[in-house]
Every structure is written in C-alpha cells, then in structure tokens.
Structure 1
Amino acid sequence: MLLQPQHSHSPLTKRVVFVLALVSGVTVANLYYNQPLLAQIVHTFHATAQQGGILSMCTQIGYAIGLFFFVPLGDMKERRRLILILLIVVALFLVGIATAQNMAWMDAASLAVGVTSIAPQLLIPLAAQLAAPHERGKVIGSVMSGLLIGILLARTASGWIGGDFGWRTMYWIAALMMVILSVLLRLLLPQTFPEQTVTYRELFVSVGRLIREQPTLRETSLLGATLFGGFSLFWTTLTFFIEQAPYHYGSQIAGLFGLVGVVGAVAARFAGRLADRMPAQILSGFALTTVLLSFLCFWIFGYHLVGLILGIVLLDLGTQAGHILNQSRIFNLLPEARNRLNMVYMVAYFLGGSISSAIGSFVWTAWRWNGVCAFGCVLVATGFSVWGTYRVKSLNAASANDESST
C-alpha cells in the first residue's frame, strides 16, 4: 500500500549542481578505468583479448545489476545516506581490484565495483526532483555533462597513471577518491526524502506496470541500449586497434583519446536545453544520425589519426546527446516514480553496453576493425528502426485523436 508523500525540497543552487556533477563523474569513472588498461591487464595475467572483453563486460553487467536492485530504493529511502553507504562499499571493492592475483579475481571484483558504482543514477533523479520544471532539462544536462566528462577523463587518467605507475595504482587512487567524495557529500548534500513511501515489493511490482503502460519508457530504453552499445563497442576495442599498425600506441595514448571525446560531451549538454524548447523525440533522430556518421568515419578514415579523432567527437556527441534527451523524456513522465523509470532505462542502457563489449571482443578477434565498424552500424540501424517505429505509432495515434475529436 502506498503511504502519504514526504517532501523535503532544498534549493538547487549552483553549488549543489556542481557537487552532483562532480560526484557523478568521479563515481561513474570506476566503470571505465579498465578500458585503456585492458591490454596491460591482459599481459599481466597472460590472458587473451576475449578475456579482456569479458572483464569490460563484467563492470557493466554489475552496473545493470546494481541499477536493478539499488536505484529503486531512491523512491523509498533517504538518498544521501544510501549514496554514502554505496561510496564506502565501492571503495572496498576497488581495493579488491588493486590486489587481484588472476583474471577470475579481476572479473569478480569488477562485477562488484559495477554493482556498487550506481550513485550517479540516484543523483540524477534527485537533480530532476529539486529542479524547477522549466529548468529540468538544463539541470539534467549539467549533471549529465559532469557524468559524461567523468566517463571520458577516466580513460585519460587511467591511461596516464597506468602507463607511468602500473594499472594497480589507478585503483588504489580510485578507492581513495570514493572515501573523499563520501566526506564531501556528507558535508554539502542536503537530506532528500522520496516523494512517496512504498515498500520494496511494491516498487518492483510497479516497475512491470511502468514498462507496460509507458511507451516512451520502452522506446527510450531500446534507443539507449543501441546508442550505448555502439559507444562501448568502440571504447572496448580501441585499445587493441591502436596497439597495431599504423599507430602502435600504448595505454597512455589510448587514454588521451578520452580528452577528444570531452568536446562531444560538453557540446551534448546543450541537448538538455534544447529538450526544454523542442520535441526531444525528434532530436533523438539527429543523435542517431551523428553516431552512424561516427562509425562510417571510423570505417573509412579510421587508419588516419584525423579521421579517428573526428569519429570520436561524433560518437561522443551523438551518444551523450541521445542519453540526455532520453532522460529528459522519462523524467517528465511520473515525478513520483523517477528512480524506477531511471532504473528501467539504465538497466537496458548498460545491458546494451555490456553485451556489445563482449561481442565486440569476439568481432575484433574474427574480423578486426572492419568487423567492429560494421557491427557498430548494425547497432545504430537497430536504433533507427526503433525510433522510426515509435514515430509512426505516434503519428497514427495523433491522427486517430484528431478524427475522434471532429
């Protein structure tokens, strides 16, 4: 049985928005430190490229599991305390990675890090709750920009630190940062309570109902899965691609490519502002087009540095803009269910990423760069089919409403 709503709103100041963006970026980085370091980790444990792809998949599957079980708690628990607990626990699992002795240990610890790194997905609905309705897209875009820049700079930081001091050092530093962030949040983040009180069982029963009753949720979840699938496919295989001719780059250079992607992530923040003024479902088509152009650029010009850089900018711009647009749409559906809506969307998002990472390592082994680029185009084409199907349904529904009203 649903109980009476409990409101605890605090002003969404610029300082709070900055803190939310900072914590989101640094925490989500835990999922991506391994990508520029995969070749180094694989060499440490005398493993194969396929095993490296599975390692990358483990963090993302863990993230999807954490989203499924912990994010709905944001609709029934005080959020600050929940986030603080998660930060301390993930610090312990990061130490587990830093001390790993074999690939099985790495896989298990990486899965656990993924499960407990879901604080950003509690912070984003929190930002949506605190924001004024006319600024919601802008605020989500600001917090998401912090998260997306964290994803990209994670690769730069881990590539540089791993190259100079070894990949284990990166995880010791990450664990320390989680402890520092927990202290920062305890001091600066206001207590925030859910807009209604429900039981854990009621939360999960309601999730199935949300999926059935909200076509926008189904559409955005499928779009997110294909977009992030392409994104993860590229970043998982990049480190193997640039190890070979004509580049012969190591983990430090692989990480530096993350700086290139920041250009796209910063530009994507304007997608949130556009979503406050234009139909986000139409803008999503432009995001898909941008990602498709990125894979065509990788395919045709990927063996030239300028072509590779241009493709990365397009990939990050399209993926992150699409992600912000998707979340702007779902957060406008049901205010009292934002964490559950976000959970459904993000589970699909990271399942798409984890499956594509695993498939990507096998595609790389079998068909190298041409296979990776072809698979990326297939993923985007799948996204276009979903987007087109729902646009046709929307037009048909609008026509039926017009006919019934005349």
Structure 2
Amino acid sequence: MKAAISGELLRQQGAQKKLTRGLILLMAVACGMAVGNLYYNQPLLADIGRTFGKTAREIGFVAMLTQIGYAIGLFMFVPLGDMKERRRMICLLLIAVSVSLIGVATAQSLLWICIASLLVGITTVVPQMIIPLAAQMAAPEERGKVLGTVMSGLLIGILLARTVSGAVGGTWGWRIMFCIAAGLMLLLALVMRLMLPESRPETKLTYRELVSSIGSLIKTQPVLREASFIAAMQFGSFSVFWTALVFYIEGPPYHYGSQVAGLFGLVGAAGALAAPLTGRLSDRYSRKMIVGIVSFVTLLSFACFWLFGYRLWGLVVGVVLLDLAVQGGQIANQSRMYALVPEARSRLNTVYTGSTFLIGSLGSGLGSYTWSVWGWNGVCATGAAMVSAGFIVWAICRIRERKMPKEIELSA
C-alpha cells in the first residue's frame, strides 16, 4: 500500500513539473478553438433558415442538436480518458470533427444539416478531455487557478466563435465559416500531437466498468449532483439568451444583422477575462459561497435584459454580467467536483458536463421556441426560471449542511 501511494505521489509530481505556463496557454487556446464548433451556427441561424426556407422555430433545432450531440459525445468518449492515452484520442477526435464540419458546410437540406450538426457535437468533446488533464497535472493548491485559465479559453472560445462566425458569415456566407473551421481543426490536431505530453490512464477498469461506475458516482457523490444541476441550469439560461439574441436584434428596435449579433461575443469576452481571478478566489475562499453569489448575479443579468434590453447599454451590461457569472460558477463548481475522486476525473467530468450540455441543448430549443411564441419577455422569463431552479437547490443544500453535525459535514 505504501509503495502504491509513493508511486502515485511521484506520478503527480512528474505531471506537475510538465505543466508549464506555455502548456496551460496551449490547453486554453485548444479548448477555445475546439468548443467554438458548437457555437458557429448561433449567429447564422437566421441566414441558414433563409437558405432552406425555414422559420426561427424550425431552424432552432440546428443549435439544439449540436449541443445534444455534444452531450452524447461526452458519455461516449470522455470516460475513455480514464483508461486510454488522451493525446491520441484528442487528435483522432479533432480529425473526426473536421469531417463533420465539412458535412455542415455542404448541407443541401434541413435534415442534412441537422444530422451533420449532431455529428459535430458528438465529436467536439476535446475540451472535456483537456480540462481533466489540466486538473490532473495541477498541484492541488493551484488547481482553481489552472482551471480558471483553461476555462477562460473555453468561454472566450464560446463567445468569440459567435463574433467570428457572424463576421465571416455576413461577408462570405455561412458555408465558408464551416469550411474554415474544418481546416482549423486539422491544424489543431497537428499542434496537439506535437506539443501535448503523453498521458497514461489512471485506472485499469474496462469500458463497461467505467460506464457502470458513472451511476455509482452519481449515487454516492452529493456534491457532484449539486454542482452538476446548478451548472446545468446556469448554462441552460446562457443558451436561452444566446440562441434568441440573433432573432431579437434583427427586429425593432435594433434591426441588426448576423455580424452585429456576433459582435456581442466580444462584449461577453470581457466577463470571461475575469476567469483566472475567479479561479484564484476559488483557491482561497469558500467555493460554495462563490456558487451562490454567481447564481444571484446570473439572475440579475436576466432582470437587466427584461427591464433594459430595449436599450443597447442594457444588453451590454446584461451580457457582461451573464458571462462573468456563468464562467465563475463553472470554475467554482468544477474545482469542487474534481476534488472528489481524483482517479475518476474524466467520469466525474462526464456527469458534470454531460448534464450541463443536455440542459444547454434544452435551453437552445427553448430560446428559439419562447422567442417565436412569447417574444423577448418569454426569453427573459425562461432564462430567469432556469437560474432560479439552480439557486433554490443551492440554498436547500446550504440549509441541510447547517443541520448536519460538524464532524460529518463534507468539505467542498
């Protein structure tokens, strides 16, 4: 037993020595580039709808299926990170998503683009293999800071993907955007193959045992359940807003096109840039309290959209608050979650991110649906309701903890 513990400590120390600033930056950039594939279509939904002669409600399924595919990919591939060499898997998946993006670019019907978008989602799970790797390689006292940096790349990629696709799509058409994305994924596969260190598995379980153990983790880890639900509700509200935004600003009082819709991603990036600070706060202060605070700030953002969304400054302030809060919540929740079972980080991430993007896909569908039925007020109410559900669960968990004897209260 002592030998096994010593071997594990040596392995962790070796991994931590490899985690240089350059490598952390590479991981952040790779996460941002890869996750952008899920969001290139959002500012272009109106343009894609016009290409195929479809309504906002019908074309909203493109964004929804992309995120459903992502959730499927998480459950299919991410658990393998605990039993397979990660670098090879990352490169193979980047090649696969490149092929899927070409499928979107050449789509000739709504059914075609829906299937291709589903495949893009399934194969765009590279960030969720990189993030557990960063958590594994980081020293425990710096894990929040490292995750904050990598997650800032992820969220900036989510936001700037809209800016880039809006600009490219508005200038050359939406198909060109997906052709460019396919080329970028092939280039990223080459860079990651050359620069990413080899990562050996942390468990000898079979794939069937890995998948079966996910249910056990859900059952035995209350912090995982809480963090996953709250993060899912926050991200669902995030998806509601960003899916509906392009339809809202095309009409009165704005009358903007897809290019301007994409520019709102630059506004949101201001919030994402605060991610490393949030990570440092997670290392120093109670992560549980940070989750509660950012949940409240997310709710404030939807109040801002509802009360002042008809003015440009109201949208801008709301976007900054929304993206800052969602990013902060993700970092604090992930720091709590990754500390639970170190040898099962990929499976923990499967539960956490899988539930997040399942609800995120629901949010995308609800965004287009509520916009078409109830307009902007319906969008704001739906987003606020999802955030409120997560906030209520957070409050219930804190009340239960206060009733627990101190000696059995879990540290999280």
Q: State TM-score, norm by structure 1.
A: 0.96
Residue-by-residue CA offset, 1:346-386 (whole Å, 9 max, x unaligned): 01100111011112211111110011111111111101111
| Residue identity opposite 1:380 in structure 2 | V
> Counterpart of 1:345?
352
> Counterpart of 1:23?
30
> Counterpart of 2:280?
273
Selected match of 1:254 from 261, 278, 289? 261
Q: Percent identity?
A: 56
Residue-by-residue CA offset, 1:211-266 (whole Å, 9 max, x unaligned): 01100000011001100010000000000000001100000000000000001111
SS in structure 1 opposite 2:42? helix
Selected match of 2:387 from 380, 393, 403? 380
Q: Verify the 8 A CA contact 1:17 1:127 in the aligned structure 2.
A: yes
1:42 aligns with 2:49: yes
Quote the Cα distance in structure 1 between the aligned partners of 2:382 and 2:62: 20
| Residue identity opposite 1:292 in structure 2 | L
Quote the Cα distance in structure 2 between the aligned partners of 1:103 and 1:218: 36
Quote the Cα distance in structure 2 between the aligned partners of 1:397 and 1:60: 38
1:102 aligns with 2:109: yes
Q: How does 1:179-198 map to 2 (within 5 A)?
A: 179-198=186-205
Quote the Cα distance in structure 2 between the aligned partners of 1:27 and 1:350: 15
Quote the Cα distance in structure 2 between the aligned partners of 1:196 and 1:166: 47
Q: State TM-score, norm by structure 2.
A: 0.95
> Counterpart of 2:235?
228
Q: How does 1:104-123 map to 2 (within 5 A)?
A: 104-123=111-130
SS in structure 1 opposite 2:250? coil
Q: Verify the 8 A CA contact 1:269 1:321 in the aligned structure 2.
A: no
Shift of 1:401: 4.7
SS in structure 2 opposite 1:118? coil
> Counterpart of 1:126?
133
1:144 aligns with 2:166: no
| Residue identity opposite 1:378 in structure 2 | A
Quote the Cα distance in structure 1 between the aligned partners of 2:339 and 2:110: 43
105-114 or 370-379: bigger deviation: 370-379
Q: How does 1:273-292 map to 2 (within 5 A)?
A: 273-292=280-299
Quote the Cα distance in structure 1 between the aligned partners of 2:87 and 2:407: 46
SS in structure 1 opposite 2:405? helix
1:299 aligns with 2:314: no
| Residue identity opposite 2:280 in structure 1 | R
Quote the Cα distance in structure 2 between the aligned partners of 1:183 and 1:369: 44
Quote the Cα distance in structure 2 between the aligned partners of 1:80 and 1:117: 15
> Counterpart of 2:87?
80
> Counterpart of 2:40?
33
Q: Verify the 8 A CA contact 2:151 2:275 in the aligned structure 1.
A: no
| Residue identity opposite 1:201 in structure 2 | R
What is the Cα-based RMSD across aligned positions, in Å?
1.3
Residue-by-residue CA offset, 1:170-228 (whole Å, 9 max, x unaligned): 00000000000011011111101122221101101111111011000000110011000
User: Compared with structure 1, are the counterparts of its residues 215 and 401 closer, same or farther at alpha carbon in structure 2 (3 Å cutoff)?
Assistant: closer
> Counterpart of 2:372?
365
Q: Verify the 8 A CA contact 2:82 2:343 in the aligned structure 1.
A: yes
Q: How does 1:213-224 map to 2 (within 5 A)?
A: 213-224=220-231
SS in structure 2 opposite 1:33? coil
Q: Verify the 8 A CA contact 2:149 2:275 in the aligned structure 1.
A: no
Selected match of 1:173 from 180, 191, 201? 180
> Counterpart of 2:75?
68
| Residue identity opposite 2:392 in structure 1 | S
> Counterpart of 1:58?
65
Quote the Cα distance in structure 1 between the aligned partners of 2:384 and 2:326: 13
SS in structure 2 opposite 1:35? coil
Shift of 1:268: 2.8
Residue-by-residue CA offset, 1:319-354 (whole Å, 9 max, x unaligned): 111011111110111110000000000011001110
| Residue identity opposite 2:70 in structure 1 | Y
Q: Verify the 8 A CA contact 1:88 1:182 in the aligned structure 2.
A: yes
SS in structure 2 opposite 1:34? coil
Residue-by-residue CA offset, 1:68-110 (whole Å, 9 max, x unaligned): 1100000000000000000000000000000000111010000
Shift of 1:271: 1.4
Residue-by-residue CA offset, 1:11-55 (whole Å, 9 max, x unaligned): 100111111111100000000000000000000100111112111
